Structure 1
Amino acid sequence: MVTPCPVSPGSPAAPAGRGDNDTNLRAPVKKSRRPRLRRKQPLQPLSPCPLPGYSGVCDLFEYPSSGSDGADSPAATRAVQQSVQLDLRTFRDYGQSCYAFRKARESHFHAREALARQPQVTAESRCRLLSWLIPVHRQFGLSFESLCLTVNTMDRFLATTPVAADCFQLLGVTSLLIACKQVEVHPPRVEQLLALCCGAFSRQQLCNLERIVLHKLRFSLGAPTISFFLEHFTHARVDAGQAPAAQALEAQALARTVAELSLADYAFRSYAPSLLAVCCLALADRMLQLPRPVDLRLGGHPEPELQDCLGKLRLLVAINGTSLAHMLPLQIFEKCSLSPSLK
């Protein structure tokens, strides 16, 4: 049985003679909207301090000029990275399971030929864009995982959809936004990312491209990255007693910097992230002259691929030795040999 709704005293159907309730009636009051808080000052540009040895991409893209919140400097980023402690207890409980799961899904997220369907985007333009995005991620104080996911998202989208040359920079900042939403506690704001592009794109264009990228990737974003494998191999060697924690963390920081350089080089797209991670770590051990370098067979990759990747990484380090001096903490760079023996 449906219960009839009670009739309010002020309605036309209410019976007469209820003047005693008239005092309780109130006229409807329109709620006032709260004023929206707006930024009173424009976004302040970051201090234009390009890294010495910078590859000179300012002729194509402007150097980052976004509103950072103070502590997002390369020095602060290095301090955070150095304060990372190894959580061996969690690694012993879940490390091998996480590694097996991500290793099995690695090929699903690996775009080996990202530029095969690109008539306008070339390996050179990709290198220039990433040479611009790497300082951007450092200026914002973002994690290395965010940078790896940015490159993975961008390359996988390039493998599925042709991109015009004048939209390539927008794809880069959109991929950075998608990656930061997955990893960072405080991702960059859309206004900050648009400021990096000097007003070349609108907020609506960025949001539309974000939807397109997510649709093309079918919201499959949890890619295994070089960052994950570097952390896993570092935990594994410390847990097995192959290296002290301090030495292992220094080697990981150096390997992360070498991996940053490899992300911008399209020649390294043919190597899986786990293979690149173990090769970067092995090269870092040899550059630091550690007595017990990491075993190259740790990731289960064929020996010819390992030696080929290691040789290219050694050449990459030799070419970018000046940049390494400004990307690494001083105490680590002073221990490095830029011409390590691979034997």
Structure 2
Amino acid sequence: MDRTRTHDENSLHEYRKPTAAGGAPTKRVALGTVTNTASVATKAKVAISKPPQRITRQPLVAQNQNIPPLAAQTSTTSLVQPCPGSDDTVDEEVDTQTADVEPTQIEDDFYESDEEGPTQRFAVSESNPQALYPVVDKESMAELNRVATYFSTNNGVDLDENDDDTYDISMVAEYAEEIFTYMKELEVRFQPNPGYMDSQTEIHWAMRSILVDWLVQVHHRFSLLPETLFLTINYIDRFLTIKTVSLSKLQLVGAVALFVAAKYEEINCPSVQEIAYMVDNGYHVDEILKAERYMIDLLDFNLGWPGPMSFLRRTSKADDYDLETRTLAKYLLEVTIMEKTFVGAPPSWLAAAAHFLSRRMLNRGHWTDGHTYYSGYTEKQLLPAVMRIIQCCRDPLTHHKAIFEKYKDRKFKRASVYVQEWMDHEENNH
């Protein structure tokens, strides 16, 4: 039976269909045949760094269409500023065979009190002083309350008789508000510490960027769901929040995080042999399984982090699930996983910011009350994240090369190419 999901990723994801006799799913071969160890030894390994083939296709909108600038209140901010702190340079080579560092637990006094709100959980760090969070002020709260009151007096938009979702039992529209309220509680509970590099002795942010870039390529080769990628990054950041990791074990952490996330999200997930092959057999199968048990135990079996894709679908409801808007927003969302300033940011906020910027790039109009209601954020709250994403898109081949190459594919409507054209247009107009 083919996997289906309501409003699933703009129907762009290609799922693996059963082709064997009796309807049994065939074993997927993502990085070469790895079940037969004899054949693995003789088979040439697939180069993970091989970029997808460029396919000529028209961008999301016509090139001669007028592309609107950002909102007037952001016009004074240059769109060509570098993205500070996103790509730390390595001044000297680091020995990859360094011995393991003894584990250290983050001290309890590292956490701040909750007086500043649920998103201000961690102290300002030296390694990531520009970490971004949504600001909740009186003006924003008043706007959110006004929108909530307006929609509640209109019999509730989640049960609109003109909305197809009302009659789709899989959407459980009656419980939508409670579900997303609970998900926003979980995103705070499972929030990683954006300053965890302060406690790391052998790794730094540039190494994390290299790891994430590699994971994006592996994730794409396995044809996994977008949720799996975001969940993988969350596991890595949460693990590094409470555990000091040596450089020689960093790739193992990433591979195991992908392994666990795939088990949580996918129907057909990679085997442990494929994971071992993915890391060029740098770690044995037994070592990977042991690391898997250790990671799950360290995360206290809290694996159900609500990633940004669920919140993006929720916000897309205000656009009637517009295909191009959400495809472009997915690219902008993936850009955020490379950026250290977004490590502790709530996924609901990032999803709303990506959706906001996608609409602006596609000339879809302003941030309406419907978008505010479904996302839970006002335009003012989203602008800091929006401007940071724009800065990160300035030099995609340096900041997020694997993601840029991935979204050049026609399956994603060449979203990354369109963003680059939009950036060039903005640069020429400033």
**TM-score (normalizing by structure 1):** 0.70
> Could you tell me which of 379, 387, 393 is aligned with 1:317?
393
Query: Is the 1:286–1:293 Cα contact (8 Å) retained in structure 2?
Result: no
Aligned length: 269
Relative to 1, partners in 2 of residues 1:300 and 1:231: Cα closer, same or farther, differing over 3 Å? closer
1:268 corresponds, among 342, 348, 367, to: 342
Q: Which amino acid aligns with 1:50?
A: P
- 1:99-248 counterparts in 2 under 5 A? 99-113=180-194, 114-234=196-316, 236-237=317-318, 243-245=319-321, 248=322
Paired residue for 2:376, among 279, 285, 300? Answer: 300
Matching residue within 15, 39, 42 for 1:41: 39
Q: 1:222 to 1:294 in 2, by over 3 A?
A: farther
Deviations 1:189-237 (A, max 9, x none): 1111111211211111111111111111110110011112112211x31
For residues 119 and 163 of structure 1, the distance between their equivalents in structure 2, rounded to whole angstroms, comes to: 8
Partner amino acid, structure 1, of 2:392: L
1:328 Cα deviation from its structure 2 partner: 4.3
- Residue matched to 1:9: none
Deviation at 1:93, TM superposition (A): 3.7
Note if contact 1:282-1:294 (Cα within 8 Å) is conserved in structure 2. no
Which sections of structure 1, spanning at least 5 residues, go unmatched? 1-36, 61-85, 238-242
Residues 335, 303 of structure 1: alpha-carbon distance in 2 compared, 3 angstrom cutoff: closer
Q: Is the 8 A contact 2:233 2:257 kept in 1?
A: yes
Q: CA deviation at 1:301?
A: 4.3
Identity rate, percent:
23
CA contact (8 A) 1:281 1:294 kept: no
Q: Contact conserved, 1:120 with 1:164, CA < 8 A, in 2?
A: yes
Q: Distance in 1 between matches of 2:179 and 2:409?
A: 30
TM-score by length of 2: 0.56
Change (3 A) 1:38 1:135: closer
The offset of 1:100, in angstroms, is: 1.4
Q: Deviations over 1:26-60 (max 9, x none)?
A: xxxxxxxxxxx95663266336622589x9xxx99
| Rounded Cα–Cα distance in structure 1 between residues aligned with 2:332 and 2:213 | 14
Which residue number corresponds to residue 72 of structure 1? none
> Bigger CA drift: 270-279 or 166-175?
270-279
Aligned to 1:33: none
Task: Give matches, 1:21-60, under 5 Å.
Answer: 41-42=39-40, 45-46=45-46, 49-51=50-52
CA distance in 2, matches of 1:326, 1:218: 33
Unmatched 5+ residue regions in structure 2?
1-34, 55-86, 88-92, 95-162
Amino acid at match of 1:154: I
**Cα-to-partner distance string for 1:247-300 (whole Å, 9 max, x where unaligned):** x22211211111112102212113211110100111111112213556674443
Inter-partner Cα distance in structure 1 for 2:384 and 2:179 = 28
| Structure 1 Cα separation of the partners of residues 409 and 341 of structure 2 | 27
CA contact (8 A) 1:174 1:206 kept: yes
Report the AA paired with residue 302 of structure 2: S
Q: 2-side partners of 1:118 and 1:222: how far apart? A: 26
Question: What secondary structure is seen at the aligned counterpart in 2 of 1:223?
Answer: coil
Deviation at 1:99, TM superposition (A): 1.1
Cα deviation, 1:51-93, whole Å, max 9, x if unaligned, reads 589x9xxx99xxxxxxxxxxxxxxxxxxxxxxxxx98223324
Amino acid at match of 1:314: I
Matches within 5 A, 1:73-112: 88=165, 89=168, 90-91=170-171, 92-112=173-193
- 1:157-186 deviation per Cα after TM superposition (whole angstroms, max 9, x unaligned): 100110011000000000000000001111
Map Cα deviations across residues 111-141 of structure 1 (whole Å, 9 max, x no partner): 1323232111211100000000001100100
Contact 1:271 1:309 in 2 (8 A): no
Query: Aligned AA for 1:142?
Result: L
- The aligned amino acid for 1:318 is R
Match of 2:359 among 265, 278, 285: 285
Describe the SS at the equivalent of 2:335: helix
Assess if the C-alpha contact under 8 Å between 2:325 and 2:358 holds in 1: yes
Over the aligned positions, Cα root-mean-square deviation in angstroms equals 3.1
**1:13-28 to 2 correspondence within 5 Å?**
none
* Higher normalized contact order (CA 8 Å, seq sep 6+, divided by chain length): 2
Equivalent residue number for residue 114 of structure 2 = none
Q: Which amino acid aligns with 1:46?
A: V
The CA deviation at 1:335 is: 6.0
Alignment counterpart, residue 325 of structure 2, candidates 251, 261, 265: 251
Q: 1:107 to 1:145 in 2, by over 3 A?
A: same
